[in-house]
A and B are shown apart, each in its own frame.
Chain A
């Protein structure tokens, strides 16, 4: 269903250069530079308030950076509006669930499909009867394991199902790259494990930038990890390198229960 070919490993799919953002006196992003090659699952970790969601906001187009540059597939997207970036293949999910509560689960995902299925200046035909929208939507739901909940109103879902739907929505737009903001927030161990499996599958087809607090998931999935503290990158490298990094341990990992390989 979703099959975007993995780009050559040396080619950075997403390149961030010197991204900076202040809110009044607070520095949310401080000269962030990062390159994510195609096919990689890159995790961003850091304490609360480190500016992770702000970073994602700038990548997604909601927040305008004060300085810096973002390149996606060698195209400068720094000035492009969010919807354009989605059309170019950059999809995101939200940390705080952002769905359409009045609609059914299937309607939600079908909307995501619709956004990438030509224009929507169609005024007559019933959109809910369009197979071309419903089928891919069901497929996305199936991938996340919530196909059975297709006809349920989003407002009636459990928290875990909300988070799964968040990912399904992003997936349904057939992206080249996924920006996931704490997809496992608030989930119990079983649900988290399920998501880890799904992400493990997905990373074979997509490039993923993952923000997460769940260290088990991060170390299980990430090809590379970047650590963000007070808006600045203090370390970036393989999981082993990060685990061994004293600065990181002190600033962040030290507070967590120790992770053994």
Chain B
């Protein structure tokens, strides 16, 4: 069965509609994220800010992927490539002495847009598995190109010694400032995506996903719209790449490996495709699982299994695989779908 779309709210919703589990969870999550630095300060645990900055940046990347995957039905297995191109744009420019964010970030975004234009123009003529594979192939192409970039570290990667400068307006070395910048950008991206998806353009993307044949029969030249969507998604992910490079202070071809694209897809599907907050939910769940689950398993299992518990905790990922398969088989709408309840049948 098909996924349900997030309809635009046209009239004032009732209180019960507002208090639906889905809205409550998202609101709580947003509140949590907004107040996190404060909490981290009080708990004297600055690591939390670092952790969630990463979550937010990847949620931004996942949001960009959701535009074409969830709403547009374009399964791009090479989306992580834009994290790489964006990151390398920042890294290479920093290496060559151009430290201004006002130059780096637009270059990152434009470079990604151009690459997406080329890849999209070639790939979108295919569909189904062919499309998946060709996007994967292009990503590998860039991956190997990155490995060959001798001057910029090749396989070992490139250190980025200074964060993008914004002429005193923003200090990206300040953990909290950077965190809020990322959060603001994510919120803006989610909002913009929401507007996009419900606009005429979004309707074409969604229609194309569901039934491209009919779209063309009623008169839409779907190729150009899907290409535009592909470019927008790539550009947005490029921004995430620039942020990520600043965050980790490092960029390497590993960021662009096709399995990283797979991780992004996992986030989108887990969180709920074709839903505004799905990608954020997916990113939060996946990344906190990564951090928290080993600790939780250790804590819970040690009284029962002693030493073995430590080993068990290390292999938590073994649950993730089958869990994901189960989600695909039975909870296709992801977390968002589960929260929204089965409005399907």
Contacts and interface: CB of A to CB of B under 8 A. Distances in A.
Interface residues of B, number: 32
A102 B100 CA distance: 46
B5 A81 contact: no
Nearest to A119: B200
Contact of A100 (B10, B198, B210, B222): B210
Interface in A80-94: 81-84, 86-87, 91-92, 94
A131 interface: no
A140 to B, nearest CB: 12
A23 interface: no
Contacts of A94: 214, 217
Contacts of B213: 62, 98
Contact of A129 (B10, B210, B215, B222): B10
B217 A124 contact: no
Interface in B141-197: 195-196
A128 B218 contact: no
Contact of B10 (A81, A91, A111, A128): A128
Contacts of A77: none
A74 interface: no
Interface string B201-216: 1111011001101111
Contacts of B210: 100-103
A124 B195 contact: yes
Nearest to A115: B219
A154 to B, nearest CB: 10
Contacts of A170: 218
A203 to B, nearest CB: 21
A173 B228 contact: no
Interface string A1-12: 000000000000
Interface string A157-183: 000000000000110110000000000
Interface string B85-111: 000000000000000000000000000
B248 interface: no
A87 B200 contact: no
Interface residues of A, number: 41
Contacts of B42: none
B195 A123 contact: yes
Interface string A64-88: 0000000000000000011110110
Contacts of A128: 7-8, 10, 198
Contacts of A114: 200, 203-204
B137 to A, nearest CB: 27
Contacts of B2: 101-102, 155
Contacts of B218: 86, 91, 111-112, 115, 169-170, 172-173
Contacts of B217: 60, 62, 82-83, 86, 91-92, 94, 98
A256 interface: no
Contacts of A61: 216
A93 to B, nearest CB: 9
Which of B4, B195, B219 has the largest number of chain A CB atoms within 10 A?
A: B219
B219 A116 contact: yes
A126 interface: yes
A120 interface: yes
Which of B8, B203, B210, B217 has the largest number of chain A CB atoms within 10 A?
A: B217
17 contacts: A62-B213, A62-B217, A83-B216, A86-B217, A98-B213, A100-B206, A100-B210, A111-B203, A111-B218, A114-B203, A120-B203, A121-B200, A122-B199, A123-B196, A124-B195, A155-B2, A173-B218
